[in-house]
Amino acid sequence: MVVKNEFVNPQASYNIFSALIQSDYPYKLTGAFKDKKTKELFCTQFEIIKSEFSNYNVKGDYYRTDGRGYINLAFLPHYLILCFRFANSMIRNKIDRELCEAVYYSQRIRTGTDLFYTTQVGKYLFPVHPTGSVLNSHAQIGDGFRFYQGVTIGHSPAEDGSYRWPVLGKGVTMYPGSSIFGKCNIGDNVLLSTGTRILNQDIPSNSIVFGHSPDITIKPHKNNNLFWLEL
């Protein structure tokens, strides 16, 4: 794997990234990427992600080479994570809502994944072929979340007309087509098998889940979902 300068240099990557966002977004972003604070936030998130990727023990060199993380904007999981972290940091710092929307727009059309920038997501996000996945903007997701294609995390309505959202612990894995809706507390190290659907139910830590609510099957999960992470 040849690691180009822009894979590890946040300022070089920023120039390429800004051009991608502006070419994707249907409206002109006047001076949005010239703001000093915006560039600082990008560079900070770039370095954080690169540091996290250095701990991804994934077969091949998709996230790191020679033990060092890198970010390749042509790798869509990399692009997804960078877009989300950058937009999330901007909205938390109350910087340019339209730029957040532009980054979010590019993220969706290039990766096919709907991960809104206000969603609370812990460290070490690990999307695996995540096309078609939708993660609700009010969900709370713990560290080491791994998800595949066609995954949904969404709300359910309460009797008073309000909405309820899931809370996921650390090391949760969602296999293709699985979904979590409503008031759910999902414990640590939980694995949702393909096609599983959970609605307004809690799942204890260290579990494998099958089926559709309310008729789900829960079995003990003896393996570590974070086997891919070296800390």
pLDDT (tens digit per residue) in 194-223: 999 999 999 999 999 999 999 999 999 999
Final residue of a structural domain among 64, 84, 112: 112
In this structure, are 8 and 81 located in the same domain? yes
Interval 10-54: pLDDT, tens: 999 999 999 999 999 999 998 889 899 999 999 999 999 999 999
Confidence check: pLDDT of 99 > 90: yes
Question: Span 80-88, mean pLDDT?
Answer: 98
More confident residue, 60 or 180: 180
Label residue 161 by pLDDT band (50, 70, 90). confident
> Which amino acid type is present at position 121?
V
Query: Do 102 and 128 lie in a common domain?
Result: no
The predicted structure's pLDDT at residue 31: 82
Co-location of 137 and 104 in the same domain:
no
Q: What is the CATH number of the domain that holds 155?
A: 2.160.10.10
Secondary structure string (H, E, C) spanning the chain: CCCCHHHHCHHHHHHHHHHHHHHHCCCCCCCHHHCHHHHHHHHHHHHHHHHHHCCECCCCCCCEECCEECCCCCCHHHHHHHHHHHHHHHHHCCCCHHHHHHHHHHHHHHHCCEECCCCEECCCCEECCCCCCEECCCCEECCCCEECCCCEEECEECCCCCEECCEECCCCEECCCCEEECCCEECCCCEECCCCEEECCCECCCEEEEEECCEEEEEECCCCCCCCECC
Report how far residue 87's alpha carbon sits from residue 83's, in angstroms, rounded to the nearest whole number: 6
Same domain, 123 and 17: no
Share of the chain above pLDDT 70, in %: 100
87 and 104 belong to one structural domain: yes
Are 180 and 80 part of one and the same domain?
no
| Average pLDDT in the chain | 95
Residue 229, pLDDT above cutoff 90: yes
pLDDT at 162: 86
The reply to whether 83 and 21 lie within a common domain is yes
Strands 68-69 and 64-65: antiparallel
pTM above 0.85, yes or no: yes
Number of domains into which the chain is organized: 2
The answer to the question of residue 230 being in a domain is no
pLDDT of residue 189: 98
Average pLDDT over residues 101-129: 97
| Final residue belonging to a domain, choices 92, 112, 132 | 112
Does 231 reside within a domain?
A: no
Domain assignment of residue 163, given as a range: 119-225
- 160 and 106 in one domain? no
pLDDT of 212: 97
174 within domain boundaries: yes
* Residues contacting 67, CB < 8 A, separation 6+: 54
In terms of domains, do 130 and 195 share one? yes
